[in-house]
Amino acid sequence: MIEAKDFGGLIVKPYMTTMSRHRNAGDTTVIVTTYNQPSWLWNVLLGYSVQDYRDFDVLVADDGSSTDTAATISRARSELDLSIHHLWLPDHGFR
């Protein structure tokens, strides 16, 4: 299990503990940022799931969203044929 890590005062607590690879995942990573917009995130992930080119992973960079976002990512992992990684960072506001 990956534990939370301290990067100079910035605590990174990943929701995902393993980096599983789907058969289509490749060397390209699409980075999507989000903050408390699970319905928009679902639409973005759904859009990526229907692309003709499928040789990529999706990294969701989450700026401290509520558990609704994590639930949306969990749903996408089970319903969409995507390799999705979730990086959750605590929200410290604008700096």
pLDDT tens, position by position, 13-27: 544 434 444 444 457
Task: Tally DSSP H helices, then E strands, for the chain.
Answer: 2, 5
Radius of gyration of the chain from its Cα atoms, rounded to whole angstroms: 13
pLDDT at residue 85 in the model: 95
* Amino acid of residue 29: T
- Assign 93 a pLDDT band (cuts: 50, 70, 90): confident
For the chain, percent of residues with pLDDT exceeding 70: 71
Average pLDDT along the chain? 80
pTM of the predicted model as reported, rounded to 2 decimal places:
0.70
Give, for 74, the enclosing helix (H) or strand (E). helix 67-79
Q: Give the pLDDT mean for 31-55.
A: 93
**18: which residues sit within 8 A by CB, 6+ positions away?**
none
Per-residue pLDDT, 44 = 95
In eight-state DSSP terms, residue 94 is -
- AA identity, residue 32: V
Of 35, 27, 28, which is closest to residue 61 (Cα–Cα)?
Answer: 35
Distance between CA 3 and CA 22 in Å, rounded? 24
Q: Considering the chain, what percentage of its residues have pLDDT values greater than 90?
A: 57
